[in-house]
Amino acid sequence: MAFLADVLSRVKPSATIAVTQKARELKAKGRDVISLGAGEPDFDTPDNVKNAAIEAIRRGETKYPPVSGIVPLREAIAKKFKRENNLDYKPEQTIVGTGGKQILFNAFMATLNPGDEVVIPTPYWVSYPEMVAICGGTPVFAPTTIDNGFKLTAAALEKAITPKTKWLVMNSPSNPSGAAYTRDELRAIADVLLKHPHVWTLTDDMYEHLTYGDFVFTTLAEVEPALYDRTLTMNGVSKAYAMTGWRIGYAAGPVQLIKAMDMIQGQQTSGACTIAQWASVEALNGPQDFVHKNKAIFQARRDLVVSMLNQARGINCPVPEGAFYVYPSCEGLIGKKGPSGKVIATDEDFVSELLEAEGVAVVHGSAFGLGPNFRISYAASEKTLEEACIRIQRFTNSL
């Protein structure tokens, strides 16, 4: 009898974590490595948020919290959804988890039975299909292309839906592509979903506040109120407030689903860290100038990286609408020979050769379900990004 569970054979390790770890190991050996694999802001958490956490400690807010979150945070979440998304949720329709990952995991665990299908547009965040598999479901991939901006079309969604479909996962702005859906694009998706009342939607809005230019963020339940009762709208404080290590994600949806997620979380971790929850109350209710200031910094970085990558031979880098990633194609370099003498047959070969030759760590696109591409996180200083892009240009010229 095997000791480890069969489900582990269906789950792959996170490629983004693996790249970050490899970069750390090379740095430890003395290599000059620029790591652009991690998906977290390089800014520090705002002082008002830190101070709220310190005050919570001093007040003795150090006991077990309610499983679904402290009341002030659930109230702040409900206000945020009303203020920013025009969505009416009562605090009891919200739940707080230890990061967005736990929210997703709870939702899938609470709803998926063997054979249930979850539609996931490609390219996707690496954890979506693995979570679905762990929870007994079957991921069904709906393809997008670089030509349509890496966005799910109504036709592709219609083709992916079957009588077994339980969820559609929508991530806008997207990790890894930075693609963000306009109101009209979401309208087309909503029209398909209205024809299939058995399909629920999980909208991962974690990068909501990181959109650029005159792009206006909208979320699915806001665009089509008829989908409100079968949508779980997820968000968190990680990206907008530079609070990745505080581990707070949240969501709002129908009470029956929130109660089921609460029950699972109660047997799994119970409530998220109280100190981090009080810090999140301040993040949501406090001044938002930090968010707007950092958006401008991210936009300048995006423009720098897109411009320099498009000057690299064989690279085609679209301009993303949001998040802090670019997802360039390296199709023009497939078949070329690298400095080591190895032929670059895949995007994985490309990023491996790039790391060995120039010490730039990026993530191969096939890990996100769509290649030949690679993902760069531009959550780094302009100086670092410029040096990385110079190395990439030098590398592509050497092939």
* Residue-level pLDDT at 101: 97
- Average of pLDDT values for 42-57? 97
- Order of strands, sheet of 325-326, starting from the edge strand that comes earlier in the sequence: 325-326, 374-377, 363-364
* Residue-level pLDDT at 22: 81
Label residue 145 by pLDDT band (50, 70, 90).
Answer: very high
CATH of range 6-44+290-398; options 3.40.50.970, 3.40.47.10, 3.90.1150.10, 3.40.50.720: 3.90.1150.10
In angstroms, the CA 177 to CA 88 distance is 30
In angstroms, the CA 78 to CA 254 distance is 13
Label residue 25 by pLDDT band (50, 70, 90).
Answer: confident
- Average of pLDDT values for 114-125? 98
Say how far residue 132 (Cα) sits from the centre of its chain: 15
CATH of range 64-285; options 3.40.720.10, 3.30.70.141, 3.40.640.10, 3.30.1280.10: 3.40.640.10
* Residue-level pLDDT at 17: 77
Residue ranges of the alpha helices (H) in the chain?
Answer: 15-28, 47-59, 71-85, 99-111, 127-134, 154-160, 183-194, 220-223, 255-268, 274-285, 289-309, 347-358, 382-398
* Residue-level pLDDT at 369: 97
Task: Output phi, psi for 184, to 5 deg.
Answer: -65, -35
Single-letter residue type at 51:
N
* Residue-level pLDDT at 122: 98
What confidence tens digit (pLDDT) does each residue in 148-165 have? Answer: 999 999 999 999 999 999
Hey, what are 158's tokens?
């219609």
Label residue 9 by pLDDT band (50, 70, 90).
Answer: confident
158-164 long-range contacts (CB < 8 A, ≥24 apart) are: 158/192, 160/119, 161/119, 161/192, 161/196, 161/199, 162/117, 163/198, 164/115, 164/116, 164/117, 164/138
**319-323, 338-342, 359-363, 371-375: least confident range:** 338-342
Dihedral (CA of 66, 70, 75, 79) sign: negative
Q: How far is CA 59 from CA 109, 246, 267, 301, 348, in A?
A: 35, 19, 28, 40, 51
Asked if the model's pLDDT at residue 15 lies above 80, the reply is no
Q: Where are the domains of the chain?
A: 6-44+290-398, 64-285
* Residue-level pLDDT at 264: 98
CB 272 within 8 A of CB 242: no
What confidence tens digit (pLDDT) does each residue in 328-339 have? Answer: 999 999 999 988
Nearest Cα residue to 365 out of 119, 23, 125, 130? 125
Nearest Cα residue to 225 out of 117, 104, 89, 75? 89
- Report cis status (omega within 30 of 0) of the bond before 72: no
What confidence tens digit (pLDDT) does each residue in 87-104 have? Answer: 999 999 999 999 999 999
**6-10, 192-196, 354-358: least confident range:** 6-10
DSSP letter for 171, please.
E
Looking at every residue in the chain, the average pLDDT score rounds to: 96
* Residue-level pLDDT at 38: 81
Asked if the model's pLDDT at residue 180 lies above 90, the reply is yes
Hey, what are 34's tokens?
């620029």
* Residue-level pLDDT at 193: 98
In angstroms, the CA 155 to CA 176 distance is 22
Q: What percent of the chain has pLDDT over 70?
A: 100
- Report cis status (omega within 30 of 0) of the bond before 129: no
Asked if the model's pLDDT at residue 198 lies above 80, the reply is yes
Nearest Cα residue to 230 out of 258, 253, 259, 211? 253
